[in-house]
């Protein structure tokens, strides 16, 4: 039975193994059972599911995942945590661990081997410093995904839901909304972790689209989005002129044909409007 969300047990396990937190890995272990339950409930894990967990730590969430899922593969970069996982997960038979950087793992291959290429569920308490690269890596590599349920910095979760006109709105907001529907599960104060982070966290579920909500050339769409937000203070026209392999005249023509003002900035466009511009530019 899962027991590690109790801080007393967490301390005992860490002391028994002589574990030292490593700042470079952004390690903050969850010690609140209610938050853990919220994550598991939001992920909607069933006995049919293969689950990929990123950053299992000492196995707090892994224990619960093993109880709910058909199979769990945990990816952990810190080799000193592997013997601890072997200990805390010793009573479970449906798990394995990959001691590697998640950004270097071939998740498409893993999904094929473990789930027949069908969509998988990802659950994670992500280190703040690497949240965006992990999420974008999952999306851009077109891993078959059903959902991603993650604990991340509150500020990043807020950015994922923002719309046009907000200063927090940007490339991450558009990418998350292109690939999924973000839903906030709960906010989590620093006191729910060991050691306590300096910022608040949020649990968010990204329910992945079977098909994107807009139709356009995906590669060009994100080239346009990135160029639009690389220099936020510039107009859309100037930003795209610096960031795309189109002439200034072509970009000006596309913006006009799409029905936008020549002085509009990228942060004012919705996902649908970026898609419209992509389709116009593609035809030039």
What residues form the annotated binding site for S-adenosyl-L-methionine? 28, 30, 55, 76, 101, 125
Assess contact for 89 and 60: CB atoms under 8 A. Answer: no
DSSP H or E run through 50: strand 50-54
Q: Determine the 3-state secondary structure of 54 from DSSP.
A: strand
- Residue ranges of the binding site: 28, 30, 55, 76, 101, 125
Q: How far apart are CA 135 and CA 172, in angstroms?
A: 9
HEC per residue, 225-270:
HHHHHHCCCCCHHHHHHHHCCCCHHHHHHHHHHCCCCCCCCHHHCC
Phi then psi for 19, rounded to 5 degrees? -80, 140
Sheet strands (E) in 84-232: 95-98, 120-125, 145-153, 180-188, 193-194, 201-208
Q: How far apart are CA 277 and CA 284, in angstroms?
A: 11
Q: How far apart are CA 150 and CA 161, in angstroms?
A: 14
Q: How far apart are CA 277 and CA 223, in angstroms?
A: 12
Q: How far apart are CA 40 and CA 155, in angstroms?
A: 22
Helix, strand, coil content of the chain in percent (nearest 5):
50, 20, 35
């Amino acid at each position: 039975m899962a027991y590690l969300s109790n801080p007393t047990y967490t301390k005992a396990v860490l002391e028994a193994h002589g574990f030292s937190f490593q700042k470079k890995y952004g390690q903050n272990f969850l010690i609140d059972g209610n938050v853990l339950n919220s994550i598991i409930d939001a992920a909607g894990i069933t006995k049919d599911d293969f689950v990929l967990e990123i950053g299992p730590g000492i196995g707090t969430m892994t224990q619960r995942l093993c109880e709910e899922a058909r199979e769990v593969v945990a990816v952990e970069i810190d080799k000193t945590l592997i013997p601890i996982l072997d200990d805390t997960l010793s009573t479970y038979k449906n798990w394995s661990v990959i001691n590697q950087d998640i950004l270097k793992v071939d998740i498409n291959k893993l999904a094929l081997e473990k789930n027949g290429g069908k969509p998988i569920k990802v659950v994670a308490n992500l280190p703040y410093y690497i949240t965006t690269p992990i999420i974008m890596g999952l999306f851009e590599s077109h891993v078959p995904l059903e959902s991603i349920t993650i604990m991340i910095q509150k500020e990043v979760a807020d950015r994922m839901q923002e719309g046009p006109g907000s200063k927090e709105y940007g490339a991450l907001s558009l990418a998350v909304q292109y690939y999924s529907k973000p839903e906030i599960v709960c906010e989590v104060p620093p006191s729910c972790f060991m050691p306590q982070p300096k910022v608040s966290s949020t649990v968010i579920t990204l329910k992945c689209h079977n098909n994107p909500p807009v139709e356009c050339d995906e590669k060009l769409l994100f080239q346009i989005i990135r160029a639009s937000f690389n220099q936020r203070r510039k107009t859309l026209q100037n930003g795209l002129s610096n960031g795309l392999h189109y002439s200034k005249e072509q970009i000006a023509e596309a913006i006009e044909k799409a029905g936008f003002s020549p002085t509009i900035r990228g942060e004012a466009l919705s996902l649908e409007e970026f898609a419209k511009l992509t389709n116009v530019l593609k035809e030039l």
